A = this chain, B = another copy of it.
Amino acid sequence: MPRVPNYERVAADIRRQIEAGELKPGDELPSTRKLQEHYGVGNNAVYMAVTLLTREGLIEGHQGKARYVVDRS
């Protein structure tokens, strides 16, 4: 097994982009498809990653639309 799971890698990279300001509050995240292609992982890995980030309050999902970076003070 990878020492670091795909879903952690993906979550960590998105987290980094948010903290670095590359992704700002209100910004849309790339779609699941794009993330899969970008990171070379499957849908479940992306799903796990965004689920964790959602539980952490960093992003919000909106069915039918997109996921957005949350404006947390």
Interface size class of A (residues with CB under 8 A): under 10
Task: Report B-chain residues with C-beta under 8 Å of the C-beta of A55.
Answer: 52, 55
Copies of this protein in the assembly total: 2
How far is A48 from B48 in the complex, measured between Cα atoms in Å? 8
Kindly state whether residue A17 has any CB partner on chain B within 8 Å: no
**CA A48 – CA B51 in complex, angstroms?**
9
- A44 within 8 Å of B (CB atoms): yes
How far, in Å, is A52 (CB) from chain B's closest CB?
7
| A44 to B52 alpha-carbon distance, docked (Å) | 15
* Partner-B contacts on A (CB < 8 A): 44, 48, 51-52, 55
Interchain residue pairs with CB less than 8 A apart (5)? A44-B44, A48-B48, A48-B51, A52-B55, A55-B55
